[in-house]
Structure 1
Amino acid sequence: MDRQRLDKWLWHARVVKTRTDAAALVAKGRVRINGARQTSPGHAVKAGEVLTIALDSRVRILKITGFMDRRGDATAARTIYLDLQSPPE
């Protein structure tokens, strides 16, 4: 898999609790891909793109590193992105 719907990727990455929440977040213009505002939940994202996500309490900056076929636990979700705001380990 080299591309995935934006709303589905946000849900798989556990940025939001439901896919409906992910679609609403994108539709409200609260997600940017490589700096460009995106309003289509069905937009295809690919590895290497950087998402800036404006949540209620904070802004997250995530670089897509992969995809999952199914939504897993939080540990599995952290394998599909690199958090650009956290200090390197």
Structure 2
Amino acid sequence: MDATRVDRWLWSVRLAKTRADAATACRGGHVRVNDRPVKPAAPVRVGDTVRARVYDRNRIVEVSRVIEKRVGAPIAQECYVDHTPPEPPRGEAPVFARRDRGAGRPTKRDRRMLDQLGLSRGDQ
């Protein structure tokens, strides 16, 4: 086999959890093969570069083997070469000013301190 549908391939190599999710991503313009937007039935061949945004994650993979049926994860990883850049490290959680429950309205001094932190009055 030298080609298969892109939605089937995305599902079979476990980049999408279901084939329906892969097809929806294709229809939404989130899948590109060789930098061209594709429909779910577009063929994918060995050597093609697939850019997919699935589940809020951008993936860039090169097809090294074409398969049609879902296989185990170790075998699925052999079917593509991942060129996805690493995600930036997540920083520390932002500091939020918290008030104790039942503490009442903030005083003028409290509001000024919140403004210095960069929080608006509605963000508490």
Matches within 5 A, 1:1-80: 1-38=1-38, 40-80=39-79
- Shift of residue 86 of structure 1? 6.2
User: TM-score normalised to the size of structure 2?
Assistant: 0.64
| Divergent runs of 4+, >6 A | none
User: Structure 1 72/43 Cα, relative in aligned 2: closer, same or farther at 3 Å?
Assistant: same
In structure 2, distance between residues paired with 1:56 and 1:86: 16
Structure 2's unaligned 5+ residue stretches are: 87-124
AA aligned opposite 1:46: R
Higher alpha-carbon Rg: 2
Structure 1's unaligned 5+ residue stretches are: none
User: Structure 1 16/51 Cα, relative in aligned 2: closer, same or farther at 3 Å?
Assistant: same
**Structure with the larger RCO, 1 or 2 (CA within 8 Å, 6+ apart):** 1
Q: What is the match of residue 96 of structure 2?
A: none
User: TM-score normalised to the size of structure 1?
Assistant: 0.88
AA aligned opposite 1:24: T
**Count of matched residue pairs:** 86
- Greater strand proportion: 1
In structure 2, distance between residues paired with 1:49 and 1:30: 16
Aligned identity (percent) is 35
Q: CA RMSD in A?
A: 1.5
AA aligned opposite 1:60: R
